[in-house]
Amino acid sequence: MSTRILTLFALLGCLIVAGCANTVAGAGEDISNAGQAITKATK
């Protein structure tokens, strides 16, 4: 019984970490695009 619970928590942890990585990458791209837009606007 305890091995099933441990396995469940391990799988949930992996899913959470994978979701955070995608979110951070997306936020980085958004910030980069905003910076590029500001640079173009000042030229």
Dump pLDDT digits (tens) for 1-43: 688 888 888 888 877 777 666 677 777 888 898 888 888 888 7
Instruction: Give ∠ CA 4-8-13 in degrees, rounded to 5.
Output: 150
Which pLDDT does position 21 carry in this prediction? 65
Which pLDDT does position 17 carry in this prediction? 74
